[in-house]
Structure formats: structure tokens, C-alpha cells
Amino acid sequence: MTAPAYDRDPYLKTLETEVVATGDDGRPFVVLADTVFYPEGGGQPADRGRIGVADVVDVQRVNGEIRHYLVHPLEPGPVSVEIDWARRFDHMQQHTGQHLLTAVAEDLFGWSTTAFHLGEAVSDIELDTAELSPEKREALEEAVAAEIRAVRPVRATRVTHDAYLQMDVRSRGLPAGHTGDVRLVEIEGLDLNTCGGTHLRSTAELESIKLLHTESLRGGTRLVYVAGGRARRLLGAHHDRIAALRGALGASDDELLAAVEMRIDQLKGANRALRQTEGAYAAALGAGMAATAGPVVAEHWPDRDLPFLQSVAKAVCEGRPDVVCLFTAGDGEGSFLLTAGEAAPVEIPELGPRVADILAGRGGGRGRSYQGRASRLDRRDEAVVLLSRPEA
């Protein structure tokens, strides 16, 4: 069988072909006589683009056919197709970068690659080493950069299965049930690997590879990287972000970290002072309310939180142990607190769930206090009536 156009020439952007089959498996799809669209596989995402007047939203290999999933159905017949070339070339850079990283990591340190993932922003490979020190990561990056400068040709070929078995190929094994020829991708003088993805013509087109960080994973190490245009865009984004920070903090690049740490310390100090002020305000407010309180004290604060309610209630009950407090906070929905002083003739464990039901909320508590969240704080008056006549 003739290989599809994306396999024959990964630099082909457009194609005149024909819709030979249509279908819908939850999404409308077409099958083409030939295609430049790479179907998702081997860690590489599917291409995007257009077939005729329909956008391609996914491409998958299903039951031996390549299905192009569309935003709306198409009829059989001749069509012009075009891939999203910027997306394709980005995938070629990241995928070829993976082959280069895999080869250099194994040749330099003896680390095999156990998995590969090409993400929207970054890509990663998983290496069978429990630890990758900063020094070794730097050495790996330098060795990869040298191979990019070497402008090593990259090419794809097909060989028979028997020939493949006789060759020195870097591979994690063929897919289950594979028959027929085997596709190999070679970085000249460095690597020969089984792969069905799309790749660059030479390492020079990688431009650069930046190793970003590592994560421990399943006894190995995940190495996150960007290649080519992604590296340039990432550098540009970081530069713009640092420029904005310089302006906001009034500091040079070398002083940014110290400036941020100083602002954090100042903010922590301000927050401590604010909490102390709020605590004093809550205590004074509660003492004033206790001086004029009836059997039930109810109050609502739209812009306060549960800790504030607790502080006020504590002060009220200390001044008047015979009262019941129902305090709420929030705008329409928020927090509620039901508290009774030691001398108040009520059973909070029994009243609490009834108040929560009125306020369309839920909560919990023990002893003389019950608190929770509610979605109908506008029904506070009904809860006050219940607390005024708890036996009803």
C-alpha cells in the first residue's frame, strides 16, 4: 500500500484528493483517498486544518482507516485540503527534538526513554534514571546543542520486517499486531529509531532545545523541554513578564527577587496588624451589643467572614451568658453562626439543623455552637422567629 502523503513528504501543506467515505461515530468524519493530515499517535497530536469548507478538529486511525473529524459533514467527491502548517511544523520540531534528546541521553549517560508526550505548551520524555542532577541536565543540554549545530540530516525510510530484525535500531518495540514494513527515522550518524511521526529535514531546523525542569515519576525522571519556536516564544514571554515586574517593583533584574521578598514580608506584617485591629473591633462590637442585648441577638455583615462572626459572638456571650446569637456574613449566600451563652435556655444541637434548613444551608457543631454555609441568608428573619420561640 502506498504511504499517505504526510508520510511521503511531511513538508507538504496542501493536497488535491477525494472524499471516498463519510460517517458519524458521534462526530462527522470523512476518509480521504490520500491525506496530508497526521493522525494522533506515538505521542504526537493530530494535525488540524481544512478539508474543503470544513474545519478538521481531530484525526484518528480507526479500524485501519484514517478518519478526519469535521465541524460539519461533507459529501463524497473531489476536495482541496490544507493543514495548519504552523501547528505541524511545531510538532515536527518537538518530535524531532525528542528523538535527539533520547539518542544523546542514552549515548551520554545510558538513560533509556520510556515515554514521550508532546503537549500544547511543553513536551516531555521519561528517562529510566531515578535522579537527574542540575549538572547532568546542563551537560545533556550542551551535548544536544552540539548535535543541532552539526546539522545532521534526518530522514525516514521503510524496511522489511526481516531487515529490521537484523538492524541495530533504538526501539521500545513494534505495536501489537504490526505486520508489513517497518518505518525508521534516522538522525544521520547518531540515531536510528522506529517511528511513524513527522520530522524535520535536519537537526539545524530544531533551532534550539531548552531543558526546563525535571520531576520524579514511577521510579524514573520526567524531563520537560521546549524546542524551536516554542523556546523563542517562551524566552520572549519571560522577558516581557520580567520587564513588567521591573516596572511594578522599581527594581533591576538582579534585585527582583529581593524586592518581591520584601513586599511579601510587608504584606504579612500588614495582614497581622489588620487581624489584630479586626480582633479588637470585634471584641468592642460584641461588648457593646451585649450591653443592650435581648434574648436573641441577630446581625448580618455582607463583607465579613466566619472568624469575624466567631469573635463577635464570643464577646457577646462573655458579656451576656443568657443570650443566643445568630450572626451571618455574605451577600445572598455565605456563612452563618449560631451560638448560645452558658446560661441560655436552648439546645443548640437541636436548633442548629433547623436554622440551617431555614437558610437552605448545612453545617455542624458541638456544645454551644453551630456553624456552616447557607444559600438563603435573606431568610434570616425566619430563623430569628424560630430562636425566639424554640418550642414552636
- Least Cα distance to 27 among 3, 2, 1, 46 occurs for 46
Task: Give one word for 101, left, alpha or beta, with left for phi > 0 and alpha for psi -120 to 50.
Answer: alpha
Neighbouring C-alpha atoms within 13 Å toward the C-beta of 175: 11
| CATH architecture of the domain with range 89-236 | 2-Layer Sandwich (3.30)
User: According to the model, what pLDDT value does residue 169 have?
Assistant: 87
| Each residue's pLDDT tens digit, 75-111 | 999 999 999 999 999 999 999 999 999 999 999 999 9
292-321 tens-digit pLDDT: 888 999 999 999 999 999 999 999 999 999
Fold entry, domain 282-388: Diaminopimelate Epimerase; Chain A, domain 1 (3.10.310)
* pLDDT value for 165: 86
Q: What is the pLDDT of residue 392?
A: 53
Q: Is the pLDDT of residue 286 over 80?
A: yes
pTM of the entire predicted model: 0.76
pLDDT at residue 233 greater than cutoff 90: yes
What percentage of the chain has pLDDT greater than the value 70? Answer: 98
Tens of pLDDT, residue by residue over 115-145, are: 999 999 999 999 999 989 999 999 999 999 9
How does the average pLDDT of the chain come out, rounded? 93
| Residue boundaries of the structural domains of the chain | 5-83, 89-236, 282-388
Third-level CATH fold of 5-83: Elongation Factor Tu (Ef-tu); domain 3 (2.40.30)
Domains 5-83 and 282-388 share a fold: no
Residue 93 exposure: Cα atoms within 13 Å on the Cβ side? 26
- Give, in order, the Cα–Cα distances in Å from 51 to each of 54, 55, 207, 353: 5, 6, 31, 61
Sign of the alpha-carbon dihedral angle for 160, 166, 168, 174: positive
